[in-house]
Structure 1
Amino acid sequence: MKRFAFVAATAVLGLAALAACGSGDGTTTPAAAPQSQSSTTPNPSAAPKLATADVANFGKVVVDGNGRTLYVFDTDTTSPSKSNCDGECAALWPPVKAGTAAPQLDGVDASLVGTVTRTDGSKQLTLAGAPLYQYATDTQPGDGKGQGVLGTWWVVGADGKKITTAPAAGDTGNSGY
């Protein structure tokens, strides 16, 4: 019964995220919701960090300076880079802020790292042109709960390519999927 309740709650959360991640008219709206407290760069002038770590059964994926798994979104574009996650979507999927200093890199090729200007004017880090995000439900380093959400959110490898490996059954970092 607990598993059914969890799956049902996950489905409701997923539907809410789907509704939040697009206005339906092809436009985006400025982010109005505050960013997650565990934002990648709490100090806007601080240099963000991108590194790699083994997460679940996905292999080496890109993480932030706190070890939180980073994701890419299928509806974003890479050439040119454009984020299509604003407002409520960005509250659930906080963008990785660029800061004003060059990012610190560990295991990530500097030639693949860039930035994109979001609709609210803030700068977001990109990898191989893809805007990078956290998932608000990932609370600890190594969590990968956002993998495959709505079939559009994916962990990302150091090469900037999305990893579509399904979470392992019983994986506590990815349960419910």
Structure 2
Amino acid sequence: MRPHVRVIAAVASTVFAAVAATACSGSSSPSSSAGGTASPPASAALEEAAQTATPTVTTKSVSLGKILVNDKNLTLYLFQADKTSTSTCTGACAAAWPPLEVTGKPTAGGGVQTKLLSTSKRSDGKMQVTYKGHPLYRFAGDSKPGNVNGQGLNNFGAKWYVVGTDGKAITGSGSQSTGGNGGY
């Protein structure tokens, strides 16, 4: 369990650094927009970066088996607290576990069953990609393709697992990373 604490600490410090950098980078000059809106907080920037017009969900073989990944080959997870296709992960949860959001229609890559791929509306009105009814998320602690650092973590009230091509959680444990950095 100790390595998971390091991952959580690394994610927390990264989010804190991003928020601090955003807060410190503001200028004292008035905003040039008519509405006087400020720069979005770091978490909004993370959410925006996670959103893709038409993300592709595909597969990758890792130590845990054949799992779902996004178009950047980053591992996708399901949250066991999600009992329906509607996400229960918002706020700080969504900062640590960015939802796979879409503005268009998601596409299925090799090994992904198109009939299991869909979307669900989040509480903020954005659309999240689902697979076999499970909202899909990334883990902020996965920095490289093949990382599975979120596997089996108990965060925000439930466990997180990688998703197999059948749409079910893979609950086993393998090495924490196949990205060459030992997972950290």
TM-score range, shorter chain: 0.7 to 0.9
State the distance in 1 between where 2:148 and 2:134 align. 18
Query: Match for 1:140 among 136, 144, 157?
Result: 144
Q: Per-residue deviation at 1:166?
A: 1.0
Q: C-alpha deviations, 1:47-96, integer Å up to 9, x for none? A: 110101012x2110000000000000000023xx1111000100000000
Distance 1:119 1:174, change over 3 A: farther
Deviation at 1:116, TM superposition (A): 0.8
Work out which of the residue numbers 80, 96, 107 in structure 1 matches 2:100. 96
Q: Count the aligned residue pairs.
A: 150
Deviation digits for residues 151-172 of structure 1 (CA, Å, limit 9, x no counterpart): 6000001111000011338976
2:64 corresponds, among 39, 49, 58, to 58
Q: CA RMSD in A?
A: 2.9
Q: State whether structure 2 residue 132 is matched by structure 1 residue 128.
A: yes
Provide TM-score, normalisation by structure 2: 0.70
Question: Which residue of the other structure, out of 72, 80, 89, is the alignment partner of 1:74?
Answer: 80
Could you tell me whether the CA contact under 8 Å between 1:99 and 1:123 is conserved in 2? yes
Contact 2:148 / 2:176 at 8 angstroms: preserved in 1? no
Structure with larger RCO (C-alpha < 8 A, sep 6+): 1
> Structure 1 residues 48 and 137 mapped into 2: Cα distance closer, same or farther (>3 Å)?
same
> Which one has the largest radius of gyration?
2
In structure 2, runs of 5+ residues without a counterpart are: 13-41
The 8 Å contact of residues 40 and 65 in structure 1, kept in 2 or not, is answered as no
Where does the alignment leave 5 or more consecutive residues of structure 1 unmatched? Answer: 16-31
For 1:76 and 1:175, locate their aligned partners in 2 and report how far apart those are by CA, in whole Å: 26
